[in-house]
Chain A
C-alpha cells in the first residue's frame, strides 16, 4: 500500500544544475500537486495537474516545470537551480478535485539544498 512515493528524499545541488523530483501514486488519483515548504512556513503550491496531459501553475511556479504523461506520475523539474529553491518539496494527490469528501494524500517530502 505505497500511496504517494517521492524520490529522492535528500539531494544537494550546485547552483545552475538541473534535476527532476519524481512522484508516483498508485491510487489512480486524477489530481496531483507539488508544494514547497520553506523553513518556518506553510506549504505553497508550485504546480498541479487535473489529469494526464493537463497541468497548471500554482502560487510559486517560477523556476520549475512539470509534466503529466500518465495518471501515476507527476515529475517536477528544476532548471538552473538557485539557492532560493532550497526547500522541502511535497507531492500530493487526491481522487477528485479539491477535497470533496476525500483526503489529499501527501508523500514524505524531498529535502533539496542548493549550494
Chain B
C-alpha cells in the first residue's frame, strides 16, 4: 500500500517570506501523480499544484512550486511571497496513474502566516 508522510504538523512564516512544506511517499509504482491541496477553515479542498511522475520538470503555479525528487520519493511545496490568505492546512496526496482508487493523503501541515 502507498503511504504519504508529512513530517511537519505545523509551520510558521512571516508574511512575504518563503516557506517549504515537506512530503515523502512510498510506492513501488512508476506511474503516479502527486498533488498539494489547500484546506482553509471552511474545509473546502482546493487543488494547489499537480505533478506527473513521468515529468522531470518541477511544476509551478504562480507563487507555488514543487521540488520533485523521484528517486528520493520526495515532493516538497515551496510558497514564495507568503500571503495571509495562504494560511490553511496543506495536504500532500498521491494517486496511482493506472488505477481507479482514489487519492492517498498525508496527515497535513498547518501553515501559519505571521503579519
Interface residues in chain A, defined as those with a beta carbon under 8 Å from any beta carbon in chain B: 31, 33, 35, 37, 40-45, 48, 50, 56, 58, 88, 90, 92, 97-100, 103-104, 106, 108-109, 111
* Given A42-B91, A42-B108; A98-B99 close (CB under 8 Å): yes
8 closest A-B pairs by beta carbon, nearest first, are A42-B105, A106-B45, A33-B102, A97-B100, A109-B43, A50-B100, A45-B102, A98-B95
* Given A90-B45, A108-B44; A98-B107 close (CB under 8 Å): no
B residues 56-115 touching A (CB-CB < 8 Å): 91, 93, 95-108
B110 nearest in chain A by CB position: A40
Q: How many A-B pairs fall under 8 Å by CB?
A: 72
Q: What chain B residues lie within 8 Å of A103 (beta carbons)? A: 47, 50
- The interface size of chain B toward A, counting residues with CB under 8 Å, comes to 26
Bound CA span A92–B35, Å: 15
CB distance from A54 to the nearest CB of B (A): 9
Q: Are A100 and B43 in contact (CB under 8 A)?
A: no
Q: What chain B residues lie within 8 Å of A48 (beta carbons)? A: 100-102
Q: What chain B residues lie within 8 Å of A37 (beta carbons)? A: 43
Q: Are B108 and A41 in contact (CB under 8 A)?
A: yes
Bound CA span A40–B110, Å: 9
Q: Are A97 and B99 in contact (CB under 8 A)?
A: yes
Some 10 contacts from A to B, beta carbons below 8 A apart, are A35-B103, A40-B107, A50-B100, A56-B100, A98-B98, A98-B101, A99-B33, A99-B95, A100-B33, A108-B43
Q: Are A92 and B102 in contact (CB under 8 A)?
A: yes
Q: What chain A residues lie within 8 Å of B107 (beta carbons)? A: 40-42
Q: Are B103 and A104 in contact (CB under 8 A)?
A: yes
Q: What chain B residues lie within 8 Å of A104 (beta carbons)? A: 47, 95, 102-103
Q: Are A45 and B103 in contact (CB under 8 A)?
A: yes
Q: What chain B residues lie within 8 Å of A58 (beta carbons)? A: 101-102
A88 nearest in chain B by CB position: B43
Q: What chain A residues lie within 8 Å of B103 (beta carbons)? A: 33, 35, 43, 45, 99, 104
